[in-house]
C-alpha cells in the first residue's frame, strides 16, 4: 500500500503534537517529583528533547503545507 506525501506529513504532525504533550507532561512530572538533582537534569533534558522533536515535526508539516498549497 502506497501513501501520498500529504498523509505522511499529517501523521508526522499528529505524532509531533503527541510528543509535545508527552514532553510537557514529563517536564511537569520531573519538576514536581522529589528526586536527586542529577536525575532531575536528565529527566528535564529528555523532556526538552521530546518537546524539540514535537516542534520539529509540526514545523515540517507547516513547511510542507506552505510549499504545496491548500
How many residues in the chain? 70
Please check whether residue 27 is in contact with residue 3, taking contact to mean a CB–CB distance below 8 angstroms: no
CA distance 29 to 69: 39
Domain limits for position 19:
5-68
pLDDT in tens, the chain (70 residues): 567 888 999 999 999 999 999 999 999 999 999 999 999 999 999 999 999 999 999 999 999 999 887 6
User: Contact at 8 Å (CB) between 22 and 53?
Assistant: no
pLDDT at res. 1: 58
Q: Interior CA angle at 66 toward 6 and 10, to 5°?
A: 25
**pLDDT value of residue 3:** 73
The Cα–Cα gap between 23 and 2 comes to 31
Amino acid at each position: 500500500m502506497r501513501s501520498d506525501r500529504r498523509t505522511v506529513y499529517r501523521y508526522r504532525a499528529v505524532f509531533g503534537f503527541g510528543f509535545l504533550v508527552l514532553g510537557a507532561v514529563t517536564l511537569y512530572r520531573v519538576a514536581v517529583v522529589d528526586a536527586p538533582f542529577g536525575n532531575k537534569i536528565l529527566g528535564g533534558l529528555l523532556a526538552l528533547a521530546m518537546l524539540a522533536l514535537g516542534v520539529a515535526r509540526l514545523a515540517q508539516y507547516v513547511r510542507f503545507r506552505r510549499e504545496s498549497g491548500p
